[in-house]
Amino acid sequence: MSTLPHERIDVPLPPRPYTVEIGAGHLGRLSSLLDAAGVGRRRIVVSSPTVWKLHGEAVSAALPDAPVIHIPDGERHKHLKTVARIYDALVTQQIDRGAALVGVGGGVLGDVTGFAAATYLRGIDIVHVPSTLLAQVDSAIGGKVGVNHPLGKNLIGAFHQPRLVVIDPTLVATLPRREFRAGLYEIVKYGMTSSRALFDRVAGSVKDLFKRDPEALQPVIAASCAIKADVVSRDERESGPRRVLNFGHTAGHALEAITRYKRFRHGEAVGYGMLVAAEVAAGRGRLAEADRERLFTLIRRLGPLPAIADLSMDDMIDAMRRDKKVVNGRLHYVLATSVGEHEIVDDVSEGELREALRRVGFRAS
């Protein structure tokens, strides 16, 4: 067990700020953490069969009176039919507005459960207990909830801030290596756009991170959460500064969509998306070759990404045109300008995207 002190990160969003509680062993303290945050006494756990096999006993011990709703997990199940399963259970159990959903699982489960909470009775509380590294550092914070449409990722959704986020770094010990690695790519995103210190810390502790050592994990998790909390508190609904969180996501979401969410973990797609964005920035002379190479080297060190040589540039371009970051016909694109610095532009041409995709390894159409 980690000897590091527990950390608390505030997300000062009006009208109701919330906290992110980070600490090894927090799953066993779940009831007291919910009480301290003023979460209603009627709590309904939502989890997946896979997560429940790993952590269900601990959750049940912490919340012995909470009913449990099981839903399938994974991008293929991130749709309205899965949300309806939650609605059905809540209606059957006569759950009212004083209740809270407690989502225990990865990013997809958190998004789906959060969307159900946002829309059931026009909104009930949601508490996120993320079990994957990617969810701990990204999707559990910020209030974005929703589901996919066959033509695009997260096109149906809402902003619904959690009442509390509880992060226990020891939960990621059960993740398959590929799933764990996917979360590391998301941490690299924060470092590349916003914190050279975080980027350097990841680069300097790859071996310890892959050992799942809480002493190595908790600082990079906390640093990532602090960056996201700061961005979200300044721009809840992505009208400006929050767009930085989409670094790597434009091409990443397109990659997931054209492969029907079956080939790539989200973090892997973001990894490729960061490479594409870096090539765009380097092609404009906005990112030095040394910094571009530092990003490519770190992504390679984290492990192999699935092959893309069979995937078409045309399909990628078409998917990016449908991205939800297109506003008034213009695609807002996040570019890293050095390690720890970024800019947001809306004038990336199709020619620039094609050249970047070619350099990363996509098939010319």
Catalytic positions are 122, 144, 186, 228, 238, 242, 246, 249, 253, 266
C-alpha to C-alpha distance for 332 and 247, rounded to whole angstroms: 10
CB atoms within 10 A of CB 315: 17
Are the CB atoms for 223 and 190 separated by under 8 Å? yes
C-alpha to C-alpha distance for 126 and 110, rounded to whole angstroms: 9
Q: What is the dihedral of CA 131, 118, 241, 352, to 10 degrees?
A: 80
Q: Element (H or E) spanning 25, and its range?
A: none
C-alpha to C-alpha distance for 268 and 135, rounded to whole angstroms: 14
User: Length of the chain, please?
Assistant: 365
Q: Element (H or E) spanning 29, and its range?
A: none
C-alpha to C-alpha distance for 78 and 84, rounded to whole angstroms: 11
C-alpha to C-alpha distance for 45 and 52, rounded to whole angstroms: 10
Using alpha carbons, list the distances in angstroms from residue 247 to 185, 278, 330: 11, 10, 16
The DSSP call for residue 1 is -
